[in-house]
Chain A
Amino acid sequence: MQFETSLLSDHIQVVKLAGRLDLKGTNEINDTFSFTVGLEPAPTIVDMSEVVFLASIGIRMLISAARAKANRGSKMVLANPVPLVKEALTTAGFDALIPTFNTVDEAKAALKSE
């Protein structure tokens, strides 16, 4: 499981995840992901376009990071999950808690308009 981080000129953090958010993949990045997202005061877009599998442990990681972000007065959103991953988020009932957009650009536009 890999991720890369970039900070856009309009002060939005984009974290791109790639791989499987199963038990192993989540454990590989959980601490670093939480640290990277949590410490950044700017809003975060998590680009999910290359996440091919999502289990409950991965959902928990995302929820935990989103919650930590909200507690600091900021926001985390998701962008471009593949259909089966999006379905897992919806089935878990968490799609309503973490706004999800079809593209990173849509997510950026939504965050800028807030």
Chain B
Amino acid sequence: MSSTTLVLRNHLDDLDRLSDWIVEVSEQYSFSQKLSFYLELVIAEAVTNIIQNAYLDQDEHTIPILLSCDDHRVRVEIKDDGLPFDPLQQPEVTFPTRLEEADEGGLGIHLIRSYTQECCYRRQHNQNVLTLTLSKEP
């Protein structure tokens, strides 16, 4: 299994680096356009949530993202040292039937759940560790 790592800072501007990295990784591992889209979407959703909600201070924090893949699956491990938070404990969204009922809360987590084969969370060494697994051929 080969792997590569990107370390982001807890600044929303750093998400530009995520996009560039996904392009590089996709070329390196010959990911399909679909897989690239899925990967960027789930990682961006997770990282955005971390940047916006994980920290009480104004300090700089790092968010390491480890991507590894084998013949069939891509695994992404996202770590942060913010407040303990298991995003998978958030309730599933209820699909609204009318525009007035549309509640956009929880949409990011819903997209992560929908686009991954598997997602799991653990708290380890004062860090949140979110592991996302995607099929190489979604």
A positions within 8 Å CB-CB of B: 20, 22-24, 53, 55-57, 59-60, 63-64, 66-67, 70, 84, 88, 91-94, 96-98
Check A92 against B107 for contact (C-beta < 8 Å): yes
Residue tally, chain B, CB below 8 Å to A: 28
Residues on B with beta carbons closer than 8 Å to the beta carbon of A96: 95, 97
Contact partner of A88 (CB less than 8 A), chosen from B95, B98, B102, B111, is: B111
A56 to B107, CA, bound (A): 6
**Known A-B contacts A23-B15, A59-B107, A84-B33; A93 and B44 likewise in contact (beta carbons under 8 Å):** no
A56 to B100, CA, bound (A): 18
B99 within 8 A of A: yes
B110 within 8 A of A: yes
Check B19 against A60 for contact (C-beta < 8 Å): no
Residue pairs across A and B with Cβ atoms less than 8 A apart, 17 shown, are A55-B48, A55-B108, A55-B111, A56-B108, A56-B111, A63-B102, A64-B104, A67-B99, A88-B41, A88-B111, A91-B110, A91-B111, A92-B110, A93-B93, A94-B102, A97-B96, A97-B102
Check A91 against B96 for contact (C-beta < 8 Å): no
Check B98 against A60 for contact (C-beta < 8 Å): no
Chain A CB count within 10 A is highest, among B19, B107, B114, for: B107
B positions within 8 Å CB-CB of A: 12-13, 15-16, 19, 33-34, 37, 40-41, 44-45, 48, 93, 95-100, 102, 104, 107-108, 110-111, 114-115
Check A60 against B15 for contact (C-beta < 8 Å): no
Distance from B90 Cβ to chain A, minimum over Cβ atoms (Å): 13
Nearest 8 Cβ contacts at the A-B interface:
A93-B95, A56-B107, A60-B104, A56-B108, A84-B37, A91-B114, A97-B99, A63-B102
Check A22 against B99 for contact (C-beta < 8 Å): no
A97 to B16, CA, bound (A): 30
Check B110 against A22 for contact (C-beta < 8 Å): no
* Chain B residue at minimum C-beta to C-beta distance from A55: B44
A97 to B100, CA, bound (A): 9
**Known A-B contacts A60-B107, A91-B115, A93-B96; A55 and B45 likewise in contact (beta carbons under 8 Å):** yes
**Known A-B contacts A55-B44, A56-B45, A88-B111; A97 and B104 likewise in contact (beta carbons under 8 Å):** no
Distance from A43 Cβ to chain B, minimum over Cβ atoms (Å): 14
* Chain B residue at minimum C-beta to C-beta distance from A76: B99
Check B104 against A56 for contact (C-beta < 8 Å): yes
Check A67 against B12 for contact (C-beta < 8 Å): no
